[in-house]
Chains A and B, each alone.
Chain A
Amino acid sequence: DVKVTQSSRYLVKRTGEKVFLECVQDMDHENMFWYRQDPGLGLRLIYFSYDVKMKEKGDIPEGYSVSREKKERFSLILESASTNQTSMYLCASRPGTARGYTFGSGTRLTVV
Chain B
Amino acid sequence: GESVGLHLPTLSVQEGDNSIINCAYSNSASDYFIWYKQESGKGPQFIIDIRSNMDKRQGQRVTVLLNKTVKHLSLQIAATQPGDSAVYFCAEGDYGQNFVFGPGTRLSVLP
Interface centre among B4, B32, B41, B102 (most CB of A within 10 A): B41
Interface size class of A (residues with CB under 8 A): 20 to 34
Main secondary structure of the interface of B (DSSP, over half): loop
Interface size class of B (residues with CB under 8 A): 20 to 34
Chain B nearest CB from A66 CB (Å) reads 15
B45 near A: Cβ within 8 Å?
yes
CA–CA, A58 to B91, complex, Å?
A: 16
- A98 and B32 contact, Cβ closer than 8 Å, known pairs A33-B98, A42-B102: yes
A74 near B: Cβ within 8 Å?
no
Residues of B within 8 A of A (CB): 2, 4, 6-8, 31-32, 34, 36, 41-46, 49, 89, 91, 93, 95-96, 98-99, 101-104
Residues of A within 8 A of B (CB): 4, 33, 35, 39-43, 45, 48, 58, 90, 98, 100-106
